[in-house]
């Protein structure tokens, strides 16, 4: 029975790996210089498009934090003279979905539509209206500012929010990654229509746009679509970037009183940029340390052996500049010091000694076996290619993923962690401390 289970599992993984190994990615640049990735797939009558801009919250001017988020949000609430209600109804009437978001590095919009000519053309027109001709109506700006401000005030009563905001501000200091994408109640109140229009003009540039198209479309049609998307965007040759993190802002242990029943603990430091050579050793190593859920060392030491938490995790968030290593857990207030001591000792031991051969082999099997599931739909392929395109990673990134995972050694993990993580300089935030 066990042998049959292994055979079925192996066959399933082979089928999934074949599905992504056959992924044919075409690339080209628009006339304005924007990068385009295209995957032709006629299995379903669906078209997915994702466009990314160098317009994340790190581009917020000092004193106007929240501008990137508000600009992206308002672009969907009235465009080309069509008010938000009519725009939403027209999108819904053709069964399309248009959505977007902002993170620290980028702003993006996604379109999913049926690929029949009539529906595709209507959906593309609405999509282009949103990214080409946002109206930024003043009454809607004022309404949404008030709504976001109310949301911020409410969230600031939650220990998770307090911990996260304090953590990022503590480890990044004056760097643009320090502030939350939503901004603050004070900075949002200062924003006006002209701010949004200027931010759109400065950062939603055709030359910096990365466009990913996946689905039921020919290559010739995809080229026409990408060009029509690019041509209506603001023009300019500015190359935006994000300043490096000059050094970790270590603040030690910061305790914040809160009536929550549990202590919420975050610890970490700036660590990893996208595309760094240490990415795969850190990625595999972190899976063993705290990224593998119930099979991770932190879970074994803090939960299984001591019963101090329900869950404990760690992850790297690679960004354009150095993104954070974050370790998080919740525990009873009276157990916070004990849990924190075990986390610190576990991290230090891992950095000093690295994983065992058994841990490394299990991590590789899980990561390699789970990778095809990240590419088992058009939507997932679009997201993955958008990351590759935006961060200018090699086009071979997907093809080489399994090889890079399997190449990782214990020595590489130890070296990478020692290069990037100082266990004595992990800023620690405890919300709900006794």
Q: Which two tokens stand for residue 39?
A: 């995957």
The set of residues, in sequence order, having a beta carbon less than 8 Å from that of 379 and lying 6+ positions away, is 48, 112
Torsion, Cα 152 156 159 165, to 10 degrees, reads 70
Going by C-alpha positions, the residue among 282, 271, 248 that lies closest to residue 414 is 282
**What is the arrangement of strands in the sheet containing 253-256, beginning at the earlier edge strand?**
253-256, 427-431, 262-272, 323-332, 312-316
- H-helix or E-strand spanning residue 64: none
Residue 389 to residues 45, 83, 153, 282, 315, Cα–Cα distance (Å): 25, 32, 36, 22, 22
CATH topology of domain 26-232: Cytochrome Bc1 Complex; Chain A, domain 1 (3.30.830)
> What's the confidence (pLDDT) of residue 226?
98
Q: Above 70 in pLDDT, residue 13?
A: no
- pLDDT confidence band for 19 (50 / 70 / 90): very low
Are 363 and 311 in contact by the 8 Å Cβ rule? The answer is: no
Q: Above 90 in pLDDT, residue 434?
A: no
> What's the confidence (pLDDT) of residue 239?
85
Q: How many CB atoms lie within 10 A of CB 403?
A: 11
- pLDDT confidence band for 8 (50 / 70 / 90): very low
Mean pLDDT of the chain: 93
Q: What is the pLDDT of residues 325-356, one digit of tens each?
A: 999 999 999 999 999 999 999 999 999 999 99
Q: Above 90 in pLDDT, residue 59?
A: yes
Q: Above 70 in pLDDT, residue 18?
A: no
The set of residues, in sequence order, having a beta carbon less than 8 Å from that of 355 and lying 6+ positions away, is 285, 288, 363, 410, 413
Distance CA 185, CA 375 (A): 39
> What's the confidence (pLDDT) of residue 57?
98
Q: Above 80 in pLDDT, residue 3?
A: no
> What's the confidence (pLDDT) of residue 22?
57
Q: What is the pLDDT of residues 128-144, one digit of tens each?
A: 999 999 999 999 999 99
Q: Above 60 in pLDDT, residue 14?
A: no
Residue 301 to residues 283, 308, 311, 340, 404, Cα–Cα distance (Å): 20, 9, 11, 11, 29
Distance CA 189, CA 234 (A): 27
> What's the confidence (pLDDT) of residue 16?
44
HSE-CB for 20 with a 13 A CA cutoff: 27
Q: Which long-range contacts (CB under 8 A, 24 or more apart) does 406-410 make?
A: 406/364, 406/368, 407/280, 408/280, 408/281, 408/284, 408/285, 408/360, 408/364, 409/281, 409/360, 410/354, 410/355, 410/356, 410/357, 410/360
Q: Matching CATH topology for 26-232 and 252-431?
A: yes
> What's the confidence (pLDDT) of residue 5?
35
Q: For 275, left (φ over 0), alpha (ψ -120 to 50), or beta?
A: left
Distance CA 195, CA 60 (A): 11
Which of 34-48, 233-247, 366-380 holds the top average pLDDT? 34-48
Distance CA 145, CA 291 (A): 36
Q: Which two tokens stand for residue 73?
A: 């949000």
Q: Above 70 in pLDDT, residue 187?
A: yes
Q: What is the pLDDT of residues 188-207, one digit of tens each?
A: 999 999 999 999 999 999 99
> What's the confidence (pLDDT) of residue 195?
98
391-412: average pLDDT:
96
The fraction of the chain above a pLDDT of 70, given in percent, is 95
Residue 28 to residues 25, 38, 152, 190, 284, Cα–Cα distance (Å): 10, 9, 41, 41, 32
Give me the residue spans of the domains in the chain. 26-232, 252-431
If one compares 1 and 165, the residue with the highest pLDDT of the two is 165
Q: How many CB atoms lie within 10 A of CB 22?
A: 7
Q: What is the per-residue burial (b if ≥16 Cβ within 10 Å, else e) of 352-378?
A: eebbeeebbebbbebbbbebbeebeeb
97-112: average pLDDT:
98
Going by C-alpha positions, the residue among 5, 37, 20 that lies closest to residue 370 is 20
Q: 344 phi and psi, to 5 degrees? A: -60, -45
- pLDDT confidence band for 371 (50 / 70 / 90): very high
Q: What is the pLDDT of residues 306-330, one digit of tens each?
A: 999 999 999 999 999 999 999 999 9
What class is the 252-431 domain?
alpha beta
- pLDDT confidence band for 40 (50 / 70 / 90): very high
> What's the confidence (pLDDT) of residue 17?
46
């Amino acid at each position: 029975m066990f042998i049959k289970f292994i055979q079925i599992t192996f066959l399933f993984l082979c089928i999934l790996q074949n599905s992504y190994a056959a992924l044919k990615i075409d690339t080209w640049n628009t006339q304005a210089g924007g990068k385009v990735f295209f995957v032709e797939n006629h299995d379903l009558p669906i078209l997915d498009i994702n466009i990314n801009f160098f317009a994340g919250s790190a581009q917020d001017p000092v004193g106007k934090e929240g501008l990137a988020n508000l600009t992206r949000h308002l672009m969907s609430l009235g465009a080309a003279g069509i008010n938000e209600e009519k725009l939403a109804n027209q999108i819904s009437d053709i069964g399309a979905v248009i959505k977007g978001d902002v993170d620290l590095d980028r702003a993006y919009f996604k379109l999913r539509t049926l690929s029949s000519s009539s529906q595709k053309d209507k959906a593309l027109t609405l999509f282009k209206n949103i990214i080409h001709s946002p109206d930024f109506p003043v009454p809607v700006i004022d309404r949404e500012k008030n709504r976001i401000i109310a949301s911020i005030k409410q969230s600031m009563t939650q220990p998770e929010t307090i911990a996260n905001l304090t953590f990022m501000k503590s480890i990044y200091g004056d760097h643009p990654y320090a502030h939350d994408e939503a901004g603050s109640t004070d900075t949002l109140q200062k924003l006006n229509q002209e701010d949004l229009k200027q931010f759109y003009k400065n950062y939603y540039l055709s030359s910096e746009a990365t466009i990913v198209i996946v689905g039921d479309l020919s290559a010739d049609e995809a080229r026409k679509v990408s060009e029509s998307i690019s041509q209506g965007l603001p023009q300019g040759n500015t190359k935006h970037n994000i300043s490096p993190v000059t050094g970790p802002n270590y603040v030690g242990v910061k305790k914040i009183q809160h009536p929550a029943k549990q202590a919420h603990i975050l610890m970490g430091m700036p660590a990893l940029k996208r595309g760094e050579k240490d990415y795969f050793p850190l990625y595999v190593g972190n899976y063993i340390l705290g990224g593998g859920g119930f099979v991770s060392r932190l879970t074994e030491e803090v939960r299984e052996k001591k019963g101090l938490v329900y869950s404990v995790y760690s992850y790297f968030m690679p960004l354009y500049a150095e993104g954070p290593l974050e370790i998080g857990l919740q525990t009873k207030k009276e157990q916070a010091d004990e849990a924190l001591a075990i986390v610190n000792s576990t991290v230090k031991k891992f950095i000093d000694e690295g994983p065992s051969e058994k841990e490394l082999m299990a991590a590789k099997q899980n990561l390699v076996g789970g990778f095809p599931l990240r590419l088992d739909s058009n939507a997932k392929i679009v997201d993955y290619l958008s990351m590759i395109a935006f961060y200018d990673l090699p086009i071979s990134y997907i093809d080489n993923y399994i090889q890079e995972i399997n190449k990782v050694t214990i020595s590489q993990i130890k070296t990478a962690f020692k290069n990037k993580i100082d266990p004595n300089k992990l800023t620690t935030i405890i919300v709900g401390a006794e």
